Amino acid sequence: MTVRRRDPPRIEVGLNAVIVAVTDHRPRVLTLPGPDPADPGGGTADLLPYGPLDPGGDRTLDLTLRGWVRAQTRLDLGYVEQLYTFGDRGRLEGGAPDGEVRTLSVAYLALARESGSGSAARARWKEIYAYLPWEDGREGRPDFFDRVLVPRLERWIDAAPNRREREERRDRAAVGFGLYGSDWDGDRVLERYELLYGAGLVQEADRDRRRAGVSCEADPAPLPGRPMGADHRRMLATALGRIRGKIRYRPVVFELLPPRFTLLQLQRVVEALSGVELHKQNFRRLVERGGLVEGTGEVESRTGGRPAELFRFRREVLRERRAPGVGLPGIGSG
Amino acid sequence: MTVRRRDPPRIEVGLNAVIVAVTDHRPRVLTLPGPDPADPGGGTADLLPYGPLDPGGDRTLDLTLRGWVRAQTRLDLGYVEQLYTFGDRGRLEGGAPDGEVRTLSVAYLALARESGSGSAARARWKEIYAYLPWEDGREGRPDFFDRVLVPRLERWIDAAPNRREREERRDRAAVGFGLYGSDWDGDRVLERYELLYGAGLVQEADRDRRRAGVSCEADPAPLPGRPMGADHRRMLATALGRIRGKIRYRPVVFELLPPRFTLLQLQRVVEALSGVELHKQNFRRLVERGGLVEGTGEVESRTGGRPAELFRFRREVLRERRAPGVGLPGIGSG
DNA sequence: CCTGATATACTCAATTTGAGTATAAGCGAG
DNA sequence: CTCGCTTATACTCAAATTGAGTATATCAGG
């Protein structure tokens, strides 16, 4: 299948970081502009911080990641978690002759507090929902959802070559996007992105097909949602899905908040990430009863109304019960 | 494990599969005997199926994995999921001079039905709890838990060099093993293994220290729990933890069951994996009300008592609501 | 001392959980 | 055939949790 020449083909390993912060009720991700390795045309694109793994370097992958994130962005990462290793061939070995090099990308999720200083060099905080706009349901489904996205999906479904395939497409769309009676499941971020990619509805799909030499009509009006270079948008989707899942059963939100915060701030961060709005009183009951937070006596008076008490995360909770996270509604197993 | 010399240090990538099945209420993992790459002494050890990644080979990592699992074990994998990529330096480059080669292992979880034919070649199904005996709490904490494990942990805690470190050790032990008032959290399998490794209570820890040239008294009476080669026991722990977490919110158990099964069979599989016993009537209520299964008219009469109805998994559930898995008790977010 | 905010407390019905009891339906011994 | 054992399945009931409100508190500003 592949042509081997001299020396066996090499493997290169890169580390990618999806660094997430939330400011002003908006989840953001740290990006760098750069040439898109998957685009032979050579435009620039938004990229996640990326660095090669030096085989002789640090002892652990984590350390390597932290190291050059610091170098590229002057940011000291706190919470870091491995996400997924992407290794499909032909993903981004743009220039190299086939079989010469294989690139593996180990993607990490990191949570940060968006310190002002964090954006050294050319790093920029960008809104996550600029890349994945269909994921933000806080004010109901975004406008374009029923107007553009669903019709496009349906065109794709109908274009299936046979009945079986058509039914499968319909099922995937139903489950992923909560259509035809299925519920919306906030965690299926990656599934949705993959579906849109497979249906040719994101720009990366066009780009990759063009690179592979497949002719295809350029999409007349691309779906809202900014593309990224390489398969970084896929990584972003993976990260958002992971956060949404994790936030419920491990108290990770606090990594994104200052040491003291009001309950509404906490709620806004949870809402921002999970993409849904929550019932304020019940949310308060949940985090208080769960023992996740404890009041400091202080109050924050810049609320515009009655001043709110400042709370802090009760670290002890990690030692006590099952450290429940900030459970969203409708989670139970029924 | 080939030794390459000449030229910059290389990266090699291996794929490992943790292939899990459940028979007779016992969770099992497929192993191969082999020389332990981490043991210079050269004894043989239980290993997970392992294969190098050929950079020019299959298009995706999944495919590669499936390919040589088939070759090594004659098993066609169904459900496969990426687990984690292990990349610490010095993990298992046993013989190679430092800096010459760096090995990454991408570990996968696979669920199988333990077909009799599956154990071709030298593959063997082994009980998972033979390797991780502290994880099986179905009949209460195993005997050795309070008699051996906890005292050993306490010795380790007390041996901390200073107060701060001592408190941290105590906390980790409390959270991991449900001591001193903390609850047992079945999902923290990896945390527990790492803790035991760090405390020098599993044989791999001794082995690795010896290899690194650190002198250490051989542990007088090692903890129950069979070691594995390389860091495969760590991978097994990762896999079990993932299964336990996932079983609750995605209907993956059915991958381990025959197409038709009684509700008690289903329950036993869930219990086997999660390591706890469940209330039978409530379990039944849960899966039936959740619409996860539907009765076929048939009955299974070899139960020893009243014949049980045979059920089948309702695939449609994947399309409907949030496909809830077989929720264990005490999961809600309080 | 209103009005408009937001914060926080409390209520209440519906649902879900945890832990049982009760009954059904097979088998084998006697 | 019936008793006693076993497992299956149905039903009950209190406790806890959830979902959706209403009520009250406390600030800023006119």
Which pLDDT band, with edges at 50, 70 and 90, does B4 fall under?
very low
Which tokens hold the place of B249? 């919110």
Q: Who wins on pLDDT, B100 or B299?
A: B299
**B87·A60 Cβ contact <8 A:** yes
Which residues make up the interface with nucleic strand D when CB must lie under 7 A? Answer: A 279, 281-282, 285-286, 301, 305-307, 327, 329-330, 332; B 262-264, 280-281, 284-285, 299, 303-309, 332-334
Segment of A47-56, A169-178, B65-74 carrying the highest mean pLDDT? A169-178
Predicted local confidence at residue B247, as pLDDT:
92
Which tokens hold the place of B70? 């088939």
Give the pLDDT confidence of A271-316 residue by residue, as tens digits. 999 999 999 999 999 999 888 999 998 888 777 788 999 999 998 8
Segment of A122-126, A259-263, B141-145 carrying the highest mean pLDDT? A259-263
Q: In chain A, list all ranges with CATH 3.90.79.10.
A: 10-131+230-242
The CATH T-level fold of domain A249-318 is: Arc Repressor Mutant, subunit A (1.10.10)
Of the candidates A170, A84, A179, A180, the one whose C-alpha atom is nearest the C-alpha of residue A134 is A179
Which tokens hold the place of A302? 């810049």
Rounded mean pLDDT of chain B? 85
Which pLDDT band, with edges at 50, 70 and 90, does B333 fall under?
very low
Give the three-state DSSP class for B220.
Answer: coil
Question: Residue B332 pLDDT > 70, yes or no?
Answer: no
Which tokens hold the place of B210? 């010896």
Give the three-state DSSP class for A145.
Answer: helix
Average pLDDT over residues A96-112: 81
User: If DSSP states are collapsed to H, E and C, what string results for B260-287?
Assistant: EECHHHHHHHHHHHHCCCCCHHHHHHHH
Could you say which of A55, A85, A334 has the minimum Cβ distance to residue B10? A55
**A82·B84 Cβ contact <8 A:** yes
Predicted local confidence at residue B330, as pLDDT:
44
Question: Residue A322 pLDDT > 80, yes or no?
Answer: no
Chain A span 247-276 residues with beta carbon within 7 Å of strand C: 262-264
User: H or E segment at A195?
Assistant: helix A189-198
Which nucleotides of strand C lie under 7 Å from a protein CB? 4-11, 15-21, 24-27
**A101·B61 Cβ contact <8 A:** no
Tokens 């090692």 appear where? B222
Q: How far is the CA of B251 from the C1' of D6 (A)?
A: 30
Predicted local confidence at residue A333, as pLDDT:
30
Average pLDDT over residues A199-206: 92
Segment of A303-312, B27-36, B211-220, B231-240 carrying the highest mean pLDDT? B231-240
Cα-Cα-Cα-Cα dihedral of B186, B188, B192, B193, to 10°?
110
Predicted local confidence at residue B316, as pLDDT:
85
- A-B CB pairs within 8 A amount to 139
Q: In chain B, list all ranges with CATH 1.10.10.10.
A: 251-318
Give the pLDDT confidence of A245-256 residue by residue, as tens digits. 999 888 999 999
Q: In chain A, list all ranges with CATH 1.10.10.10.
A: 249-318
Lowest-pLDDT range, A105-119, A274-288, B186-200, B312-326? Answer: B312-326
Chain A CB contacts of B330 below 8 Å: 322
According to CATH, what is the number of the domain B251-318? 1.10.10.10
Q: Who wins on pLDDT, A9 or A280?
A: A280
Predicted local confidence at residue B49, as pLDDT:
92
Question: Residue A97 pLDDT > 80, yes or no?
Answer: no
Chain B span 256-315 residues with beta carbon within 7 Å of strand C: 279, 281-282, 285-286, 301, 304-307
Q: Who wins on pLDDT, B210 or B2?
A: B210
Q: Which nucleotide is nearest to A329 (CA to C1')?
A: D18
- Gyration radius from chain B CA atoms: 22
Predicted local confidence at residue B117, as pLDDT:
54
Average pLDDT over residues B188-192: 96
B327 CB-near residues (< 8 Å, 6+ apart): A332, A333, A334, B248, B249, B286, B290
Predicted local confidence at residue B90, as pLDDT:
67
Distance from CA of B294 to the nearest CA of A (A): 16
Chain A CB contacts of B12 below 8 Å: 11
A102 CB-near residues (< 8 Å, 6+ apart): A9, A10, A11, A12, A87, A89, A93, B53, B55, B56
Predicted local confidence at residue A216, as pLDDT:
65
Predicted local confidence at residue B98, as pLDDT:
54
Predicted local confidence at residue B10, as pLDDT:
81
Tell me the CB-side half-sphere exposure of residue B102, using CA atoms within 13 A.
Answer: 23
Predicted local confidence at residue B116, as pLDDT:
60
Could you say which of A106, A182, A249 has the minimum Cβ distance to residue B320? A182
Q: Which nucleotide is nearest to B289 (CA to C1')?
A: C16
Q: What percent of chain A has pLDDT over 70?
A: 85
Distance CA B39, CA B210 (A): 9
Using CA coordinates, name the residue in chain A closest to B10: A55
Question: Residue A3 pLDDT > 50, yes or no?
Answer: no
Could you say which of B55, B88, B183 has the minimum Cβ distance to residue A11? B55
B111 CB-near residues (< 8 Å, 6+ apart): B19, B20, B21, B78, B79, B243, B252, B255, B256
Give, in order, the Cα–Cα distances in Å from A148 to each of A134, A152, A154: 11, 6, 10
Is strand C in 7 Å reach of the CB of A278?
A: no
Give the pLDDT confidence of B234-269 residue by residue, as tens digits. 999 999 999 999 998 889 999 999 999 999 999 999
| CATH class of the domain at B10-131+230-242 | alpha beta
